[in-house]
């Protein structure tokens, strides 16, 4: 599979992983925050929703840039080194992008960060990834 050239270096203003995004919703990009956590944890190609070629879930990886916010978030959450080389890798930036899964989840759910840290243990995060991986497999059948 061909991926679009990696030109993006920082997240757009509407990136769900950006601390100061302009989304104003508890469902960034129309999905629950758990979906983003599961996808960021796994080896998913995550498109930039603001790319001019982005259409929907059926967008072409060969035409649509990858999400810079997700790449930075993966660096913060120690997932970047686990991703295939085709997946966008960027250095983290704690000022722009959420520093942890708990910060991300607290932002969208309104729960205290301490509660989010308890909820989002390794097993829960792995389960969220597993759910997303199974969605992907179910679509192929």
| 80 in Cβ contact with 74 (< 8 Å) | yes
pLDDT of residue 62: 86
Structure token digits, residue 124? 């829960």
Q: Residue length, the chain?
A: 141
67, 9 Cβ separation under 8 angstroms: no
Considering the entire predicted model, what is its pTM? Answer: 0.90
Q: What percent of the chain has pLDDT over 90?
A: 64
Residues of the chain scoring pLDDT < 50: 140-141
- Tens digits of per-residue pLDDT, 16-47? 999 998 787 888 878 899 999 999 999 999 99
Q: Which among 17, 33, 26, 34 is positioned nearest to 128, based on CA atoms?
A: 34
Distance CA 7, CA 3 (A): 11
């Amino acid at each position: 599979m061909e991926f679009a050239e990696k030109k993006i270096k920082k997240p757009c203003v509407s990136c769900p992983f950006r601390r100061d995004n302009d989304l104003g919703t508890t469902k960034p990009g129309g999905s629950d925050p758990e979906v983003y956590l599961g996808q960021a944890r796994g080896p998913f190609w995550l498109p930039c929703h603001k790319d001019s070629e982005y259409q929907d879930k059926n967008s072409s990886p060969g035409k649509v840039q990858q999400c810079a916010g997700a790449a930075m978030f993966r660096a913060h959450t120690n997932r970047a080194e686990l991703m295939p080389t085709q997946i966008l890798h960027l250095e983290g930036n704690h000022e722009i992008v959420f520093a942890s899964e708990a910060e991300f989840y607290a932002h969208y759910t309104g729960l205290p960060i301490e509660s989010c840290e308890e909820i989002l243990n390794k097993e829960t995060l792995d389960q969220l990834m597993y759910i997303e991986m199974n969605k992907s497999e179910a679509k192929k059948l």
